[in-house]
Amino acid sequence: MTTPHFTPLVASLPSTVPFVGPETLERRRGRPFSARLGANESGFGPAPSVIAAMREAAGDVWKYGDPENHDLKQAIAAHLGVSARNVSAGPGVDCLLGLVVRQYINPGDAVINSLGGYPTFNYHVAGFGGRLVTVPYRDDRGDLGALLDAVKRENAPLVYLANPDNPMGTWLEADAIQSFIEALPETTLFILDEAYGETAPASAIPPLDVDRPNVLRMRTFSKAYGLAGMRCGYVVGASEQITAFDKIRDHFGISRMTQVAALAALADQIYLRQVVGEIAAARRRIEEIAAANGLRTIPSATNFIAIDCGRDGAFAQRVLEGLIERDIFVRKPAAPVLNRCIRVSVGPRAELDLFEERLPLALAAADQSV
């Protein structure tokens, strides 16, 4: 029986999921996790004011969301001190990354990322036929010099960097980022992913410059604002680049309820500051737990900590599996060198108590299985 034909590109791609979700692992295991410390969500949850706003709006979910995202864009623009013409919103940074690749990459074009950098971006590069070119991290940070060299060598139209970084949690200072921007060819678009910007030191965030057409800044409500399940991110840039998103975006991609939640979250900066403090305290707790087990942590400006397990990737994988067997969900980087670490998201005290109790058991089991 004949069937419709996939395009050659789609036919050549494997069926992949950039991140295996904890729900998938729970189904495989036949039981839930006791501590969900692997997805870089905010276990502290959204502000009470956000929950109240969502409850009040629940009766209106029969309506589509505003396809212009007007009120949300206006609020984001006012918060950042830019024009609404410089802001576009979408159902998460992941979706916006795909829209950028679709706009700027022809099949075969080189796209530059760090080896081990955010895998969903790489997923979109493959999905639109781009040719991914990677450069190794340097001292667990993105190597700006190597990224710039790769851009020039490959004549690449697109380069990506997360600052602070995922999966390592490290950060680069704003002056280094600004020097990188100024050294880029004008024809190369730079995606600066600042999903963890709210938890970063102010010194890591360059001033917004919406007059520069080859830089797009990505931010999200999924992390510090505690709205990962609502899927809402936004991009900031020059008005001509931002307007182009309207040509291809899903205009109903952000639900009415998500717009309500994001607006309420943005308005409650007091709660945001409180949560950022709780995230910092939880990072310190994870550092203490790691040190008590003889392990070193990588300095982090995010809502997670990378813990160096002190050996190779195989040992770190056994530690991760030992934690999962003991109902603690964590993740780890997959790329060489970075894969010596496990990555632990911050969370409420009770979940970190369980991690503290079970990490020594997982380390012992990993040792015994050699």
pLDDT in tens, 302-361: 999 999 999 999 999 999 999 999 999 999 999 999 999 999 999 999 999 999 999 999
18-45+270-368 has CATH 3.90.1150.10 classification: yes
**End-to-end CA, the chain:** 51
Angle between the N-to-C axes of helices 70-80 and 256-267, in degrees from 0 to 180, rounded to the nearest 10: 20
pLDDT tens, position by position, 158-208: 999 999 999 999 999 999 999 999 999 999 999 999 999 999 999 999 999
Beta carbons within 10 angstroms of residue 59's beta carbon: 8
Query: Looking at 18-32, 168-182, 238-252, which range is the least confident one?
Result: 18-32
- How far CA 257 is from CA of 51, 111, 228, in Å, comes to 11, 35, 13
ω into 164 cis (within 30 of 0): yes
Using the 8-state DSSP alphabet, how is residue 234 labeled?
Answer: E
Using CA atoms, how far apart are residues 368 and 62, in angstroms rounded to an integer?
A: 56
Within 10 angstroms of residue 255's Cβ, the number of other Cβ atoms is 17
The residue assigned the tokens 């911050």 is: 346
pLDDT at 19: 83
| Domain edges within the chain | 18-45+270-368, 48-267
What is the DSSP code (8-state) at residue 306? E
Mean pLDDT value across residues 208-224? 97
Q: Look up the pTM and report it.
A: 0.95
The pLDDT value recorded for residue 3 is 87
CA separation for the pair 5, 128 (Å, rounded): 17
pLDDT at 221 over 80: yes
Please check the confidence at residue 369 and state whether its pLDDT lies above 80: no
Q: Which amino acid is at 7?
A: T
Letter for the amino acid at 53? A
Q: Which of 365, 255, 313, 345 is nearest to 41 (CA)?
A: 345
> CA-to-CA distance for 354 and 34, rounded, in angstroms?
8
> What mean pLDDT is predicted for residues 111-132?
96
Mean pLDDT, the chain, integer: 96
pLDDT in the model for residue 232:
98
b (16+ CB within 10 A) / e for 278-303: bbeebbebbbebbeebebebbebbbb
Query: Over pLDDT 70: what percentage of the chain?
Result: 100
- Say yes or no to pLDDT of 135 above 80: yes
Which token pair is 109?
């074009």
* Of 132, 131, 127, residue with least CA distance to 9: 127
- Domain made up of 48-267: CATH architecture: 3-Layer(aba) Sandwich (3.40)
What pLDDT does residue 370 have?
A: 62
The token pair at 260 is 């309500």
How far, CA to CA in Å, does 9 sit from each of 79, 125, 158? 41, 12, 20
